[in-house]
Amino acid sequence: MNAEKPDRNLAIEIVRVTEAAALAAARWQGLGRKEDGDQAAVDAMRKMLETIEMDGTVVIGEGEKDEAPMLFNGEAVGTGRPPQVDIAVDPIDGTRLLAEGRPGSLAVLAAAPAGTMFDPGPCVYMEKLVVGAEAAEAVDLDRPLVDNLRAVAAAHDKELRDLTVIMLDRDRHEEAKRQVREVGARLQLITDGDVAGGILAAWDERPEVDVLYGIGGTPEGVITACAVKALDGQILGRLWPRNDDERRAALDAGYDLDQVLTADDLVDSEDCFFSATGITPGQLVNGVQFRGKGAITQSLVMRGKSGTVRLITARHRFEKLRRYASVDY
């Protein structure tokens, strides 16, 4: 039997980045100041990324669609030494959740070998369908949503009424919501944060959600694909221009707006890495808990190549961290 020896797992290092972002952002929970919370997460993430031994480039930066504080597309991160890595980042998936003190906000980062992450160009939104390993071969974005729900239910050996679909609560989803309800499936509506929703749908060991469907951010789609590959699930996506100008720009740039993108199209490598740390409490991971002179974080860490999924609970002592860390804890 030929076997590779274990090599470097970058996910174990990038979790320190999402932990730092979550700790910084959590101070802004419920204060109603989206920009300040986002800026705190970005600053902490940027400073911690400087310590990671990699020649990284941000290729998917969150924030362009609403001009929020961001790590910029094309920004160099890491020490500048190999390996060369594409970075997809969402310092806060769910900035409104954090600002309003609601559950489910996360600090999220994904990485893959340079040149392997999909560049969505001018399109900041995409239609998405996410399922777990059992239903990965059963779905087709070119089929009606109802047909896909029936196929997923069959793959899970469930009745349709026992299937749970998670979806962003947006006006653009009124028809999709109607179809889910009409066939009798269970519907879970979320106000923000479809990275967590996609992972819940892809993770067969977490059976409370079976399908994510809806139109959400393309950065979140690429990030989710890294996690989906570790879970052997599937994400199907199609670029969704918001207006005629964006459609024209995408077509002029050579994008096929009818193409169904798979997890392999979004991230063309198995050696991808994912880390998410909870900021406010959620279904996926716990939020930051401040205790005395420190805090406790919980993170979900994955590697596509090995399929390893880790749930990491960490205790942070601020007095010690402040002696050497440049992050404002």
Binding residues for Mn(2+): 38, 62, 90, 93, 220
Span 198-209, average pLDDT: 93
H helix count then E strand count, the chain: 10, 13
Q: How many CB atoms lie within 10 A of CB 242?
A: 14
How far is it, in rounded angstroms, from Cα 37 to Cα 30?
Answer: 10
Per the annotation, binding residues are 38, 62, 90, 93-95, 125, 170-172, 192-194, 217, 220
Q: What is the pLDDT of residue 70?
A: 78
Cis peptide bond prior to 83, omega within 30° of 0: yes
Q: What is the largest CA-CA distance in the chain?
A: 58
Neighbours of 233 (CB within 10 A): 24
H or E stretch at 39:
helix 34-49
Tokens of 141: 């974005």
Q: pLDDT tens digits, residue range 2-33? A: 455 446 788 889 999 999 999 999 999 999 99
User: Quick one: pLDDT at residue 69?
Assistant: 61
* Residue 304 pLDDT > 70: yes
Residues 273-285 pLDDT 10s: 999 999 999 999 9
State the burial class of residue 33 (Cβ atoms within 10 Å of its Cβ: 0-12, 13-18, 19+): middle
User: What are the pLDDT digits (tens) for 38-93?
Assistant: 999 999 999 999 999 999 999 988 544 445 567 888 899 999 999 999 999 999 99
pLDDT per position as a tens digit, 107-134: 999 999 999 999 998 999 999 999 999 9
Give me the pLDDT at residue 11, please.
85
The mean pLDDT of the chain is: 92
- % residues pLDDT > 70 (the chain): 94
Alpha-carbon gap, residue 279 to 106, rounded angstroms: 5
pTM: 0.92
pLDDT score at 244: 96
pLDDT 10s digits, 204-229:
888 899 999 999 999 899 999 999 99
* Bridge-based pairing state of the strands 164-168 and 186-190: parallel
Predicted pLDDT of residue 1 = 43
pLDDT of amino acid 65: 42
Binding residues for substrate are: 93-95, 125, 170-172, 192-194, 217
How far apart CA 130 and CA 127 sit, in angstroms, is: 10
- Give Cβ neighbours of residue 252 (< 8 Å, ≥ 6 apart): none
- Give the pLDDT band (50/70/90) at residue 318: confident
